[in-house]
């Protein structure tokens, strides 16, 4: 599954039910019109894989750059247009 929709990079957020900070993070995305994909850890298997990856708390939020070309473009922009 691509994390780039209509040319925009997307966030991925791992959440659980009844997580106050998960809800706050999702609300913040929505308030700022930022697209995101939610990955709900709603089964023991998903939670086990999540923890096996080294994560202990939710939400965990990731920003997907894309592939090599997107990384190269982002680094070029960062290098040439950053505030000094």
pLDDT digits (tens, 9 = 90+) for 10-50: 899 999 999 999 999 999 999 999 999 999 999 999 999 99
Please state the rounded mean pLDDT for residues 47-59. 95
Q: Which residues of 18-30 are buried (b: 16+ CB within 10 A; e: fewer)?
A: ebeebeebbeebe
pLDDT surpassing 90 at residue 64: no
**Contact, 2 vs 15, CB < 8 A?**
no
Could you state, in order of their start, the residue ranges of all structural domains in the chain? 4-81
Q: Which position has the higher pLDDT, 16 or 2?
A: 16
In the 8-state DSSP scheme, what is residue 59? -
pLDDT at 83: 59
Arch. (CATH architecture) of 4-81: 3-Layer(aba) Sandwich (3.40)
């Amino acid at each position: 599954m691509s994390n780039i929709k209509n040319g925009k990079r997307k966030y991925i957020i791992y959440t659980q039910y009844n997580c106050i900070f998960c809800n706050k993070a999702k609300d913040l995305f929505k308030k700022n019109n930022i697209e995101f994909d939610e990955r709900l850890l709603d089964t023991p298997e998903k939670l086990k894989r999540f923890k096996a990856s080294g994560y202990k708390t939710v939400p965990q939020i990731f920003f997907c750059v894309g592939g090599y070309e997107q990384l190269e473009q982002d680094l070029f922009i960062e290098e040439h247009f950053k505030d000094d």
